[in-house]
């Protein structure tokens, strides 16, 4: 635990800190083991995390991207043997970080990620998404599992994930210019380099988003862009469509039991995701302005226009 640093990128996070800071106090870490890298918040985020005792580093909002900012945080904490990345809206259960780090007792594990639980007021669609993607199990995956799991082999989430520094640096750290799914770039490279991925269902955070259909469209446009720019993931591990069909079947069964009235919305949402994903894969034919309109990361694309 003493060799670990928790990195939390923030932007106007004050609304989350009332839940987050007390939860961090229950992790058994010193306050200075928390490193907050803030994208020039306009609220009192830095003042509050500073008063908590966390170390802070400020960057310009325009400098933020999901890969480069996390890469910078790793470089600014060279003493850390283990780097735990969280998002500002992920609220860890007591002792969750300690349980996540226990996965590294296996010296072949390069990255470990924890379970994400739905918020109390989440919709049935969102509850299913969390329960399907983050079950109550523990498992360790290697490249040998790709024939069975396909693209799901590489699944990982920086909302709550820990990295062994030697493994992270061995695959080149997080990509410098990467606006989406930087966690899966690294986990994929680790798998291909012989490292293993641990999923620790015993280590949980409360973290979910009730996206609108429009927001889901934009998110899946970003997924399509990511897969289009990283074809090696699909070539080595399998297509995404198989995982998508399994999810649809699971979602339909869950909604029939828990909220049948949500089925029409789920159907429209599935179609929107598919169209957006295919558009994203063909993003090279679209202008930066169009991509900014279609994406959940419009700032990234607007920077391409300048």
Q: Which residues contact 33 (CB under 8 A, 6 or more apart)?
A: 4, 5, 6
Q: Per the structure block, which two tokens stand in for 42?
A: 């306009």
Query: How does pLDDT run across 8-61, given as a tens digit for each residue?
Result: 999 999 999 999 999 999 999 999 999 999 999 999 999 999 999 999 999 998
CA nearest neighbour of 305 among 295, 52, 31, 241: 295
pLDDT band per the 50, 70, 90 thresholds, residue 1: low
Indicate if the pLDDT at residue 240 is higher than 80: no
The residue with tokens 């300690």 is: 98
Average pLDDT of span 226-247? 82
Please tell me the predicted confidence (pLDDT) of residue 177: 81
Residue-level pLDDT at 150: 87
Band of residue 238 on the pLDDT scale cut at 50, 70, 90: confident
How large a percentage of the chain has pLDDT more than 90?
84
DSSP string, 118-185: PPTT--HHHHHHHHHHS-S-EEEE-GGGHHHHGGGGG---TTEEEEEHHHHHHTTSS-SS--S-HHHH
Instruction: Identify the pLDDT of residue 128.
Output: 96
Q: For residue 16, how many other CB atoms are within 10 A of its CB?
A: 17
* Cα 127 to Cα 305: distance, rounded to the nearest angstrom: 38
Amino acid 44: pLDDT:
96
The 10s digit of each residue's pLDDT in 127-150 is 999 999 999 999 999 999 998 888
**Would you tell me the crossing angle of helices 124-133 and 241-258 to the nearest 10 degrees?**
130
**Residue 244's pLDDT band (cuts 50, 70, 90):** confident
What pLDDT digit, counting tens, does each position of 175-233 carry?
988 878 899 999 999 999 999 999 999 999 999 998 999 999 999 999 999 999 999 98
**Phi, psi (5° rounding) for residue 285?**
-90, -5
- List the domain boundaries for the chain: 4-206, 213-305
pLDDT band, residue 302 (cuts 50/70/90): confident
Q: Helix or strand or coil: residue 56?
A: strand
Say if CB 195 and CB 276 are below 8 A apart.
Answer: no
Q: Are 276 and 291 in contact (CB under 8 A)?
A: no
**Confidence class for position 306, pLDDT limits 50, 70, 90:** low
Residue 77's pLDDT is 97
Nearest residue to 83 (alpha-carbon basis) of 162, 175, 177: 162
Question: Does domain 4-206 fall into CATH 3.90.550.10?
Answer: yes
Rounded CA separation 66/225 (Å): 14
Cα Rg of the chain (Å, integer): 19
Model pLDDT for residues 81-110, shown as the tens digit of each residue: 999 999 999 999 999 999 999 999 999 999
| CA 159/CA 107 separation, integer angstroms | 23
């Amino acid at each position: 635990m003493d060799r670990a640093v928790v990195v939390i990128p923030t932007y106007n996070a004050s609304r989350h800190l009332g839940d987050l800071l007390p939860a961090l106090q229950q992790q058994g870490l010193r306050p200075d083991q928390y490193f907050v890298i803030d994208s020039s918040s306009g609220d009192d985020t830095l003042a509050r995390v500073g008063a908590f005792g966390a170390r802070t580093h400020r960057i310009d909002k325009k400098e933020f991207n999901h890969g480069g900012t996390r890469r910078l945080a790793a470089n600014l904490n060279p003493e850390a043997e283990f780097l735990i990345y969280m998002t500002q809206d992920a609220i860890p259960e007591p002792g969750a970080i300690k349980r996540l780090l226990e996965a590294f007792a296996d010296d072949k594990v390069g990255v470990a990620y924890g379970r994400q639980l739905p918020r109390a007021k989440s919709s049935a669609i969102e509850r299913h998404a969390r329960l399907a993607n983050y079950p109550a199990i523990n498992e360790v995956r290697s490249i040998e599992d790709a024939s069975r799991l396909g693209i799901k082999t590489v699944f990982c989430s920086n909302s709550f994930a820990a990295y062994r520094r030697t493994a992270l640096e061995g695959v080149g750290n997080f990509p410098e210019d990467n606006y989406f799914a930087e966690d899966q770039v690294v986990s994929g490279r680790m798998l291909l380099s012989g490292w293993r991925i641990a999923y620790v269902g015993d280590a949980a955070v409360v973290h979910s988003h009730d996206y609108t259909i429009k927001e889901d469209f934009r998110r899946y446009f970003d997924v399509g862009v990511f897969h289009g720019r990283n074809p090696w993931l699909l070539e080595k591990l399998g297509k995404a469509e198989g995982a998508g069909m399994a999810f649809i079947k699971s979602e339909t069964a869950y909604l029939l039991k828990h909220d049948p009235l949500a089925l029409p919305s789920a159907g429209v949402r599935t179609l929107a995701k598919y169209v957006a994903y295919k558009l994203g894969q063909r993003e090279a034919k679209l202008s930066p302005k169009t991509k900014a309109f279609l994406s959940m990361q419009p700032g990234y694309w607007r920077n391409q226009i300048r």
